[in-house]
């Protein structure tokens, strides 16, 4: 063996530190395993077809979260419809048009600031601004607008990252062939940056699905399904609690069975999104090579 | 002007100009949002400060918003958030930093490929789920501890485990992914020649990590910790039910309210002055977050200048 004098003197301390390092990593993994394990064990017997496709009703004697699933879908789609174009546009401006200076620094600083603001503050702001000042009340629209501001930095940042990875030669090639800037962005840049942009969108979906504090006082807690086709349209202006909100409300009422059922559904969604995002990121790396 | 092909001004049709304007407007949304949030927090949060009195709100400990003679002292709430965050950082950061060291420096690739996705997934778990498990796993444990600690005490008000300590533990776990991810990138960014030099001088691998690599990644690790502080002080739903439901001095076995949980639990039914005071609590939280943001920007700027 190596009999260096250096190794001998520090061996014990090194071993203790190495042990602590492994212990910490093990702890982080164990926390995850415990969370998943506990939720699966307690949740799995509550999740069945009735739970997923009906609405909680005292008359029909059903306990279900179909309304909350629909509300979550509404909020995800509506938020993305508003936030994605703005986020991408903002990233295009920062990366392709802006030439530095005070304005760019202000935009970057505020984007950074937005990503550091806690969701409860977004909730308060959404409640008084979109809810009261704009007059949207407790509605899915208010919730979606609030979340739009919240996820904007995520989409902007990921799109910027993706645009930066598009080689400069693509730009000069297109422009050199006589393409205008907007044409170049539309036909060359955006398609090449698409996987990166989609990763940002996926992460945003994850954030929206898991969000609760920003929605409690903006989207409210309605859980009934609309009865007519027009009802589905009107739904946007009505209160609608997402899965997380319903989970919180059930837990506050000590209805732990429902809570764990929802928790399991949420975990599955988060897990799927995670897998997709990872797959996308891997594809991105392969493409770069 | 330069007449490169990149800036062919003659070809700028109306579509190009419109596209440019739209992109500028998109970029300005973030600026407008931050200004609007700041304005609305101040407009809604400050009236109560003047109605009740700054001293009476910020430096009084008596919180009785619904009493006949209401009191709106939030000192305990502020202190709970500060001490709770500090304690969560104290507990969480060492574990997070060592995990980051594991991922960046120590782990064989196969192990890292298990731990890293686990950390990412941990970050994606909704905070309400942390709260749910906090209630059902941590609170009973803390209740047992509480009964053991206060056995024989006749003055202690039992919390059933919903107390400061439970909330701190939940927060400590919730900041792990943030601190791990940012610290790991900071460690990765340390150039390899520093490691080689240290090893060549006879330092062991562990000594190299703790005496060379971590100090070299200092500013990145500090920004990770600052981000963790922001995450902990802003967390609401995970600790609302875990931390109990009354305003008390921030002691480990007391039922407490944080800045965030006070808003969550009372905004639903508050009205009038009570509601305005809740917005003041929001304003206090907002000020804390802005300070944290400025500190972070300062650190990042310093790093760039290096």
Domains of chain A by residue range: 65-288
- Provide mean pLDDT across the span B112-133: 93
Mean pLDDT of A265-279: 92
B contacts of A22 (beta carbons < 8 Å):
102, 106
Q: Region A128-153: what's the mean pLDDT? A: 95
Task: Confirm or reject contact between B242 and chain A (CB < 8 A).
Answer: no
Q: Which residues of chain A lie closer than 8 angstroms to B33, CB-CB?
A: 110, 114, 149, 152
Contact check, Cβ <8 Å, B34/A113: yes
- List all residues 6 or more positions away from B153 whose beta carbon is below 8 Å from its beta carbon: none
Question: For the whole model, what pTM was predicted?
Answer: 0.91
In three-state secondary structure terms, A55 is: strand
Whether residue B213 sits in one domain with residue B74: yes
Q: Is the pLDDT of residue B12 over 90?
A: no
Asked if A175 reaches chain B (Cβ–Cβ under 8 Å), the answer is yes
What is the interface size between A and B, counted as CB pairs within 8 Å? 262
Kindly report the three-state secondary structure assignment for every residue of chain B.
CCCCHHHCHHHCCHHHHHHHHHHHHHHHHHHHHHHHHHHHHHHHHHHHHHHHCHHHHHCCCCEECCCCCCEECCHHHHHHHHHHHHHHHHHHHHHHHHHHHHHHHHCCHHHHHHHHHHHHHHHHCCHHHHHHHHHHHHHHHHHHHHHHHCCCCCCCCCCCCCCHHHHHHHHHHHHHHHHHHHHHHHHHCCCHHHHHHHHHCCCCHHHHHHHHHHHHCHHHHHHHHHHHHHHHHHCCHHHHCCCCCCCCCCCCCCCCCCHHHHHHHHCCCCCHHHHHHHHHHHHHHHHHHHHHHHHHHHHHHHHHHC
**Range of B23's domain?**
5-45
Tell me, yes or no, whether B112 and B183 share the same domain: yes
Give the CATH number of the domain where residue B229 resides.
Answer: 1.10.3720.10
* B105, B187 contact by CB (below 8 A): yes
Contact at CB, B124 and A217, closer than 8 angstroms:
no
Reported as a pLDDT band with limits 50, 70 and 90, residue B1 is very low
Q: Most B CBs within 10 Å: which of A118, A175, A272, as the mutation test of the B interface?
A: A118
What pLDDT, in 10s, does the model give residues B237-278? Answer: 999 989 987 899 998 899 999 999 999 999 988 888 999 999
B269 contacts on A by Cβ (under 8 Å): none
- Band the pLDDT of A10: cuts 50, 70, 90: low
Domain shared by B124 and B170, yes or no: yes
Output the pLDDT for position A171.
Answer: 92
* pLDDT score recorded for residue A180: 87
CB contact under 8 A, A270 and B126: yes
More confident residue, A95 or B1: A95
pLDDT of residue A140: 94
Q: What is the CATH number of domain A65-288?
A: 1.10.3720.10
A53-62, B23-32, B110-119: which has the minimum mean pLDDT? A53-62
Query: Which site among B21, B29, B32 would you substitute to test the A interface, given the most A Cβ atoms closer than 10 Å to its Cβ?
Result: B29
What is the pLDDT, as a whole number, of residue B298?
87
Please give the C-alpha separations between residue B258 and each of A210, B246, B279, in angstroms, as whole numbers: 21, 10, 14
Assess whether B112 and B195 both reside in one domain: yes
Answer yes or no: do B74 and B40 share one domain: no
B-chain residue closest to A244, CA distance: B128
Lowest mean pLDDT across A85-89, A274-278, B173-177: A274-278
Q: How many domains does chain B have?
A: 2
Whether B189 and B244 map to the same domain: the answer is yes
* Same domain flag for B82 and B137: yes
CB proximity A120 to B under 8 Å: yes
Query: In B, which residues are within 8 Å of A256 by CB distance?
Result: 132, 136
Q: Is B34 on the interface with A (CB under 8 A)?
A: yes
Is A181's CB within 8 Å of B34's CB? no
| Least confident segment among A98-102, A122-126, B17-21 | A98-102
For residue B72, what are the β-bridge partners?
A: B63
A260 touches chain B (CB under 8 A): yes
- What does the pLDDT look like over B60-88, one tens digit per residue? 889 988 888 888 999 999 999 999 999 99
Q: How far apart are CA A194 and CA A189, in angstroms?
A: 8
């Amino acid at each position: 063996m190596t009999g260096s004098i250096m190794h001998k003197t520090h061996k014990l301390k090194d071993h203790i530190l190495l042990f602590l390092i492994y212990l910490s990593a093990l702890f982080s993994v164990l926390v995850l395993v415990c969370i998943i394990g506990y939720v699966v064990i307690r949740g799995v017997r509550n999740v069945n077809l009735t739970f997923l496709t009906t609405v909680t009703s005292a008359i029909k004697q059903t306990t279900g979260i179909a309304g909350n699933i629909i509300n979550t879908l509404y909020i995800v789609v509506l938020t993305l419809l508003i936030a994605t174009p703005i986020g991408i546009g903002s990233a295009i401006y920062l990366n392709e048009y802006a030439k530095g200076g005070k304005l760019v620094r202000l935009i970057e600083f505020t984007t950074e600031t937005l990503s550091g603001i806690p969701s409860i503050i977004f909730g308060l702001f959404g409640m008084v601004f979109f809810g009261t000042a704009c007059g949207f009340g407790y509605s899915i629209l208010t919730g979606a607008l609030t979340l739009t501001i919240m996820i904007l930095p995520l989409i902007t940042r990921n799109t910027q990252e993706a645009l930066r990875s598009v080689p400069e030669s693509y730009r000069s090639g297109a422009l050199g062939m006589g393409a205008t800037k907007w044409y170049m962005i539309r036909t060359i840049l955006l398609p090449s940056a698409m996987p990166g942009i989609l990763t940002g969108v996926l992460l945003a979906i994850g954030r929206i699905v898991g969000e609760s504090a920003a929605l409690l006082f903006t989207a409210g807690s309605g859980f009934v399904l609309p009865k007519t086709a027009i009802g589905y349209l009107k739904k946007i202006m009505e209160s609608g609690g997402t899965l997380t909100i319903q989970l919180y409300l059930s837990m506050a009422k000590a209805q732990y069975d429902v809570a764990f059922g929802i928790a399991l559904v949420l975990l599955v969604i988060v897990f799927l999104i995670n897998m997709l995002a990872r797959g996308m990121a891997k594809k991105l790396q392969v493409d770069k090579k | 002007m330069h007449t490169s092909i990149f800036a062919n001004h003659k070809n700028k049709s109306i579509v190009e100009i419109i596209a440019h304007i739209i992109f500028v407007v998109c970029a300005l949304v973030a600026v407008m949002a931050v200004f609007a949030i700041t304005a609305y927090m101040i407009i809604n949060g400050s009236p109560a400060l003047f109605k009740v009195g700054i001293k009476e709100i910020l430096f009084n400990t008596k919180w009785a918003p619904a009493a006949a003679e209401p009191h709106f002292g939030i000192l305990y709430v502020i202190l709970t958030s500060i001490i709770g965050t500090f304690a969560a950082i104290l507990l969480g950061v060492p574990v997070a930093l060592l995990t980051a060291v594991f991922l960046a420096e120590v782990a064989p690739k196969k192990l890292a490929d298990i731990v890293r996705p686990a950390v990412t997934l941990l970050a994606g778990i909704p905070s309400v789920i942390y709260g749910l498990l906090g209630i059902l796993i941590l609170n009973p444990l803390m209740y047992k501890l509480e009964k053991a600690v206060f056995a024989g005490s006749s003055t202690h008000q039992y919390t059933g485990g919903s107390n400061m300590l439970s909330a701190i533990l939940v927060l400590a776990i919730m900041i792990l992914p943030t601190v791990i991810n940012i610290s790991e990138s900071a460690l990765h960014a340390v150039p390899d020649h520093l490691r080689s030099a240290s090893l060549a001088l006879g330092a062991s691998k562990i000594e190299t990590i703790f005496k060379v690599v971590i100090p070299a990644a200092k500013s990145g690790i500090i920004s990770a910790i600052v981000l963790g502080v922001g995450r902990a002080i802003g967390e609401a739903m995970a600790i609302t039910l875990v931390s109990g439901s009354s305003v008390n001095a921030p002691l480990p076995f007391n039922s407490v309210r944080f800045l965030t949980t006070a808003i969550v639990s009372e905004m639903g039914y508050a009205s009038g002055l009570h509601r305005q005071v809740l917005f003041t609590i929001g304003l206090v939280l907002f000020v804390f977050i802005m300070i944290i943001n400025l500190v972070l920007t300062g650190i990042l700027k310093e790093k760039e200048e290096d």
